[in-house]
Amino acid sequence: MNVLKDILYKVSLTATNGDMERKVSDVVFDSRKVIENAAFIAVKGTQVDGHDFIPLALEKGATAIICEQLPSSLAEGITYIQVVDSAKALGIIAANFYGNPSEKIKVVAVTGTNGKTTTVTLLHQLFVRMGYSTGLLSTVENKINEEVIPSTHTTPDAVSVQALLRKMVEAGCTHCFMEASSHAIVQERIAGLKLAGAVFTNITHDHLDYHGTFEEYIKAKKKLFDELPKDAFALVNGDDKRGGVMVQNCRATLQTFGLKSAADFKAKILSNTIEGLELEVNGRLIWFRMIGSFNAYNLLGVLGTAVLLGEDEDEVLLELSAIKGAKGRFDRISIGGITAIVDYAHTPDALDNVLKTINAFRTGNEQLITVVGCGGNRDKTKRPTMAKIAVSESTKAIFTSDNPRFEEPTEILKDMQAGVGPTDFRKTLTIEDRREAIKTALLLCQKGDIVLIAGKGHEDYQEIKGVKHHFDDAEVVTELLTQLTGT
């Protein structure tokens, strides 16, 4: 049990009413999870307003209410705290409640449109290989050392972040590497964290359904760097034209990485094949098992982060050369002479990068067939762009369902088809059923051909009308290829 006034340390208060010395059993922002003597924080969300659930929280036993707007009538025996920003207060309160674990572990946040998952996964694998107890918060999974905790969001809610960090500290972890999505930054899910550093991978078209404009999306990412403490580091992709924007007015130590411009951590690609990358890094020739120029950037980001955390550059490069990467990121499946690549590419830039990487390997004699869809209830403006990229850089493109969520798949597919010019329609097929789309792509193949299945990567489900149905691209591809090739 924590004393209420103690967990309010550093929170901007407007007014208080009631006993500030009372003990609270939990910190909750979901009224359904309230237990006896809990503190309920009413947060205004994108879909619902927590203030509407204050009566339910009281019914379930909450004894402290923290909110931006006080109720018109105050219940007797309840402590009410009015704050400037409930979402930010939630993060700070959760940090205090769990003993400010980020002050006892080095936490590095990685943000950007593409590369976040790969970067944090590589960092986790790297530091485990170097003998550290290490935590991971990612889209694919959360981990405390080797214990896997299922992941439901790119960045967990503020209370879950602090609870997970507390567990990491108790397990002896010295480092934690986490993804910081633009949604999480704006929604203050990382408020209350003391960061050792932050990494910017890149920024391209994404999430405009939420942020409204590209400028607001940039501002969301920049907020992470604006709030870094002076003793932290900020590592940015110097080849991204908005890398400099990210660190304007940043108080942290600034460092850059890149392949093209002058940078603190710089590399040159010597060889880029379907087997891996050979890079020259500060005069050293290193072979990596990762594929594609986009992964050269991810590797540099990891190298820079590790060195800025005090690790030896030579040891880091040696260990990195043995690491594979994150699940669902350019996963290659070769059966019966046909190669299928499963990748999470779900933005125009990511799809373009993956296709260009594959085309760099091609001899020109084989087909490249791309199976791609777009998620429902998300940024509609990227749908025609992704379709155009798929068609222009593939022998044939098959448009299919991704996670339609609450949208009709046929409407999503119409949005995609709008990006295809009249002369390119002959190169496209539209097959709503994702399994049938993958099967058709494989049936069109001959030995030596390549199929890219894009958009879902590590995900093992399809979300339709609020229900998650099991569907794993890699599983489906392996099963179908084995059947079709008889191997």
What does the pLDDT look like over 205-216, one tens digit per residue? 554 455 457 788
Kind of pairing between the strands at 79-83 and 13-17 = antiparallel
Least confident of 75-89, 304-318, 350-364: 350-364
* Spatial CB neighbours of 361, under 8 Å, sequence gap ≥ 6: 273, 274
Question: Residue range 45-55: average pLDDT?
Answer: 92
Q: Is the pLDDT of residue 300 over 70?
A: yes
pLDDT: is 207 or 189 the higher one? 189
* Spatial CB neighbours of 244, under 8 Å, sequence gap ≥ 6: 236
Question: Can you give the pLDDT at residue 155?
Answer: 62
pLDDT digits (tens, 9 = 90+) for 387-442: 999 999 999 999 999 999 999 999 999 999 999 999 999 999 999 999 999 999 99
Question: Can you give the pLDDT at residue 212?
Answer: 55
* Spatial CB neighbours of 383, under 8 Å, sequence gap ≥ 6: 374, 412, 415, 416, 418, 419
CA Rg value for the chain = 24
* φ/ψ (deg, to 5) at 360: -70, -25
Mean pLDDT of the chain: 93
**Which run of H or E residues covers position 160?**
helix 158-170
- Six-digit token pair at 329? 């990121």
Q: How far apart are CA 89 and CA 299, in angstroms?
A: 36
Question: What is the share, in percent, of the chain residues with pLDDT greater than 90?
Answer: 78
Please check whether residue 474 is in contact with residue 332, taking contact to mean a CB–CB distance below 8 angstroms. Answer: no
- DSSP letters of 187-241? TTTTTT---SEEEE----S--HHHHSSHHHHHHHHHHHHHT--TTSEEEEETTST
Question: Can you give the pLDDT at residue 216?
Answer: 85
Question: Can you give the pLDDT at residue 211?
Answer: 47
Question: Residue range 439-453: average pLDDT?
Answer: 96
**Which run of H or E residues covers position 301?**
helix 293-308
Question: Can you give the pLDDT at residue 28?
Answer: 97
Write the single-letter amino acid at 139. Answer: T
Nearest to 69 by CA among 87, 58, 49, 83: 83
Q: How far apart are CA 139 and CA 118, in angstroms?
A: 10
Domains of the chain: 2-97 (3.40.1390.10), 101-320 (3.40.1190.10), 331-485 (3.90.190.20)
Question: Can you give the pLDDT at residue 205?
Answer: 56
Question: Can you give the pLDDT at residue 80?
Answer: 98
* φ/ψ (deg, to 5) at 364: 100, -10
Question: Residue range 312-337: average pLDDT?
Answer: 90
pLDDT: is 59 or 218 the higher one? 59
Q: Is the pLDDT of residue 119 over 80?
A: yes
Return the bridge partners of 285, or none.
280
How many other β-carbons are positioned within 10 Å of the β-carbon of residue 194? Answer: 17
Query: Residue 140: CA atoms inside 13 Å, Cβ hemisphere, count?
Result: 22
Going by pLDDT thresholds of 50, 70 and 90, the confidence category of residue 458 is confident
Q: Is the pLDDT of residue 302 over 80?
A: yes
- Six-digit token pair at 415? 């949005």
